[in-house]
Structure 1
Amino acid sequence: MATMIALPRPPFFAILLLIVLLLSTCCSADPDPQQNLCVVNLNASISVNGFPCKPVPEVKISMNRVDFTPGGVNPPNIHPCATETGVVMKGKLLVGFVTMSNVLHSKVLKAGDMFVIPRGLVHFQRNVRKGKALVIAAFNSQLPGIVVLPTTLFVSTPPIPNDVLTKAFQVDEKVVSGIKSKFGF
């Protein structure tokens, strides 16, 4: 005959605390940025997260200026850690992003128009005029990160195997080799 050992029932508070801890770990979001803006201190040593920020009292202004030549393109890219906002200051740009449902949203914007690219979505900009274009852009994180898709896919070190790229894009290996050659590889 087996003997059973009766264990004491945990108090209600302990069960409630365990539930709260489990829910907080599975439902937590990314942390907020540690500061509102970050101007890189290029004179400092690189740390795990890149260059550190300048102390706020030393910061005079922080802007991201992007100049586009006629027909110039900001290739498809992703910012995994930040939403991008921008204002077209000069020229006309085709600005587009692709949702997680693979729907392209794009529009030609002129000077004075603003755009918002949600965090983590593939996006691009292209100057659609014969003249120059200018954008002032900002991110809601001091470390937005960037993944430039053409470079990531075709110039990584070590390289992504050609057979993976040929199957992913459903093209012949000559096409993948041809694209890689455009990057000097």
Structure 2
Amino acid sequence: MKLLVAILVSALALSSSLAYDPSPLQDVCVAINDTKSAVFVNGKFCKDPNDIIADDFLFQGLNVPRDTNNKLGSTVTAVTVEQIPGLNTLGISLARIDFAPYGLNPPHTHPRGTEILVVVEGELYVGFVTSNQLGNKLITKVLKPGDVFVFPIGLIHFQLNVGETKAVAFAGLSSQNPGVITIANAVFGSKPPINPNVLTKAFQVDANVIKYLQSQFWYDNNS
């Protein structure tokens, strides 16, 4: 009997280790009981395969420089499932990042995708911060044209143009919809605002500092 129980427990453990939920491809998916309501499962419905056309798999113009005349001096042009419907279920996406001299793609995370970046023009100071478990270690490098750098999924990372000329980079991401959370925008620009008492304690600064930061306009450089 004990042997049978041990075998059953082992089988259940193995089954649990091999089965898992698919990665979410949208921020939230609230459960409802009304089956008549239209729902998006992981973001998109699927088109009838017999009706697909070439344009379902096409995005044009990623070779065109973007306007970087903004507060950050950078513009991210995303090519996700929103721009190419044919990416649905394929688990990849792309982005072009344009930088003005000394422009910044500010600290942010992609909750659903690892990013691999290649610099094609200019020099970028890039980095990411490890989790609390690894002591929030900062990993940085200055990249030149042809250099490639990886930002692991979910970790805070950034890119700064350290040159006097413009810079351009392309990034591949391991999700059709990797998402982006810009740290400053999310913390200080949320709607409605986070209770200042929360942020005062979290950042251990005077309440007036938090109020000032929450009163600022936090620019979103993702187009």
Which TM-score bucket, shorter chain as reference?
A: 0.7 to 0.9
Q: Which runs of 5+ in 2 are unaligned?
A: 26-38, 60-78, 80-93, 219-223
Decide whether the 8 Å contact of 2:97 with 2:169 is kept in 1. Answer: yes
Residues paired across the two proteins, number: 165
1:78 alignment partner in structure 2: 109
1:60 alignment partner in structure 2: 58
Q: Which structure is larger by alpha-carbon Rg, 1 or 2?
A: 1
**Cα displacement string for residues 29-85 of structure 1 (whole angstroms, at most 9, x for unaligned residues):** 664799xxxxxxxxxxx9464466886853136641110111111111111221100
Shift of the 88–106 alpha-carbon distance from structure 1 to 2, 3 Å rule, reads: same
RMSD: 3.1
Decide whether the 8 Å contact of 1:33 with 1:142 is kept in 2. Answer: no
Q: CA deviation at 1:21?
A: 2.6
Q: Which runs of 5+ in 1 are unaligned?
A: 1-8, 35-45
1:93 alignment partner in structure 2: 124
Which TM-score applies when normalising by structure 1? 0.75
2:7 counterpart of 1:16:
yes
Which TM-score applies when normalising by structure 2? 0.63
Q: Which amino acid aligns with 2:58?
A: K
SS of the counterpart of 2:209?
A: helix
Shift of the 52–136 alpha-carbon distance from structure 1 to 2, 3 Å rule, reads: farther
Shift of the 93–30 alpha-carbon distance from structure 1 to 2, 3 Å rule, reads: farther
Shift of the 56–174 alpha-carbon distance from structure 1 to 2, 3 Å rule, reads: farther
1:110 alignment partner in structure 2: 144
SS of the counterpart of 1:80?
A: coil
**Cα displacement string for residues 118-161 of structure 1 (whole angstroms, at most 9, x for unaligned residues):** 11111011111111110100111112122111011011122211
Decide whether the 8 Å contact of 2:115 with 2:172 is kept in 1. Answer: yes
